[in-house]
Amino acid sequence: MEAVKEDIKIENQKIFKKICKKATKAINTFNMIEEGDRILVGLSGGKDSMLLMHVMSHLQRRSPIKFELMAGTFDPGFNEFNIEELTAYTKKQNWDYHVTSLDMKPILDEKSNSRNPCSLCSRIRRGNLHGLMDQLGCNKLVLAQHLDDICNSLLIGLFRGHGLKTMGPNVLADGGKKRLIRPFAFTPESWVIECKELFDFPQTGDCDYKQQVEDNGDRAFFARWLKSLETKFPSVRETMLASMMDVRTEHLMDLKLLKDYIPGLNAE
């Protein structure tokens, strides 16, 4: 039994190294980190952000580029969210950790679609993290969205008519004063799931609206759909990534872009 556990640990360590390499590739490809950056990792307590903080800490120790790294959590005050467990874990890891709080449930119940409050909750969470960045003097916010999230966002935008867009790997934020970066842009969620046992993450609880989001949310729907596509397209995420990195604007229908290809086109 002990031999089996040791084999699993070795495999998890191999996957962690693969994830670090993928993150390094994404960081270098999109020039995410520069000398002197003060970087805040958005730490939600979920597997993605917890693993991301471990990866960023690992890369910071080995990077020739010097940058400061800290973690920040937005505590929404949900009944199931255990900020104490998360705080204890970060202390054990010797992370520079900060918390900002707001009682979200009354706001969401009053102002959001109760079937899927994610959009409003995300905006409020992001705003509070930006406020924390201002307090700490950070210029970049690291978010843990992985390749699956980026593919899902592309599909949501396409099917909801929101444009051909997704979660960019390195985008301006807060009026150009900050940048959002996503080092897991090339990393599939399956790798994160395989690796999470290596670090014994704390049990921080679930969102109070988890079931509504699972039942009615676009992101949960497209996550299930993407998984079903694997039966016909085994590398569907990687091929979608390749397409997102090979945009052929002359073969799309955005008039603002086509004016460069069609003489005399009125793009107003």
Identify the pLDDT of residue 135.
Answer: 96
All residues at 6 or more sequence positions from 73 whose CB lies less than 8 Å from its CB, including other chains: 42, 43, 44, 45, 83, 86, 97, 98, 99, 100
What's the angle, vertex CA 118, arms to CA 86 and CA 245, rounded to 5? 95
Domains of the chain: 2-214 (3.40.50.620), 230-268 (no CATH)
Q: How far apart are CA 184 and CA 152, in angstroms?
A: 14
Q: Which of 167, 105, 173 is nearest to 133 (CA)?
A: 173
Task: Decide if 182 contacts 26 (C-beta within 8 A).
Answer: yes
Q: For each successive 10 residues of the chain (268 residues), what is the average pLDDT?
A: 49 90 98 98 94 97 96 87 92 96 77 64 85 97 97 96 96 94 97 88 76 81 94 95 95 90 80
Identify the pLDDT of residue 113.
Answer: 58
